[in-house]
Amino acid sequence: MKYSLMTTSMLFEMLGKLKNGLPMEEVKLEYLDMLRKTAELEIPAVEVTSLELELFGLDFVKNALKENHLEPACLVHLDQYATTDPEQSAQISAKAIQRVQDALSLGTKNMMLALMAQPDAEIYSYAQKQNALISCIKPVARFGAEHGISVSVEDTPNVSVPLCDSKDTASLLNAVSELHLTYDTGNMLLKGEDSLSFYRHFKNRVSHVHLKDMTYAEYGDSTVDGRKMTAAPHGEGMIDFPNILKELRTDCYEGYLVIEYVGSGDHFTNIKKAKGYLDLYKRE
């Protein structure tokens, strides 16, 4: 098992600076500095998102990774995969298939489809959204399998979308045999499910792992009982990382352990602390 870093929160900061007038060349320098600091922490890989491919271009990202001796652990592509509009769904599938080709070009064997909720989600039934999700994702997963790319989904932190608990996840995985699972250690808590039990239920389909700690807060994603949850610094929330990492070792999981960093301030001091905490249990 080796680490990868999720850099999305830092990318959003860069995007905000770009919108506020920072020249693109300076934003690119910030991106390169982020990758350099990741490598200095001896984290060998990063998650690449469709956001940065659109922002900087595929060739720039490839070269930036190469310059910093970093691997692309996974290409993450966000979209409204549960849309019930047939024309829009076909467009979303086609775009995701293009991203599979980008994953091939980047040199990663992993691609994760991150489910966004569509604006009109409340007017459709859960079953309608679930059927739409299956129809949209199935051709992407099959295309990936045909080209040696492991296409996965993760359960989402939005209880209104049809992919937030073990029942929803099982329905999708059963319907799409080529699809894999990115096991996110925190998202199922929003539906009151246990993280380790969730992993045990799906471990034969897990191809990627996101390590995220969670806590109750005054803000964040809504749970089924009306409370709020958000990501916490690793080791300061409620996730049982010692036993989760022990079980992954026992099961001979060989993929990436993604440090899902969601923070602000001195990012790399925070990331170093998170890595140090996870290191206590990664090798035991």
pLDDT for 62 equals 97
What local confidence, expressed as pLDDT, does residue 121 receive?
Answer: 67
Of 255, 257, 252, 248, the C-alpha closest to 275 is 257
Question: Which pLDDT belongs to residue 97?
Answer: 98
Whether domain 2-282 has CATH 3.10.580.10: the reply is no
Q: How many CB atoms lie within 10 A of CB 8?
A: 18
Specify the pLDDT at position 284: 60
Alpha helices in 107-194 (DSSP H): 126-146, 166-175
Long-range contacts for 195-202 (Cβ within 8 Å, ≥24 apart)? 195/239, 195/240, 195/244, 196/240, 196/243, 196/244, 196/247, 198/155, 198/166, 199/244, 199/247, 199/248, 200/247, 201/166, 201/170, 202/166, 202/169, 202/170, 202/173
Give residue 122's pLDDT. 74
Domain parsing of the chain, residue ranges = 2-282
Question: Averaged in consecutive runs of 10 residues, what is the pLDDT profile of the chain (284 residues)?
Answer: 94 94 96 98 97 95 97 97 93 97 96 87 83 96 97 90 92 97 96 96 97 94 92 95 96 95 88 96 76
Among 67, 1, 62, 17, CA closest to 38? 67
pTM of the full predicted structure?
0.94
Residue in the structure block whose two tokens are 């290409």: 75
- For the sheet containing 213-217, what is the strand order? 213-217, 228-232, 221-222
CA dist 25 and 31 (Å) reads 10
State residue 179's pLDDT score.
98
Q: What is the pLDDT of residue 283?
A: 76
Residue 72, beta-bridge partner list? 46
Q: What is the pLDDT of residue 41?
A: 97
Predicted pLDDT of residue 125: 86
Check residue 255 and give its pLDDT: 94
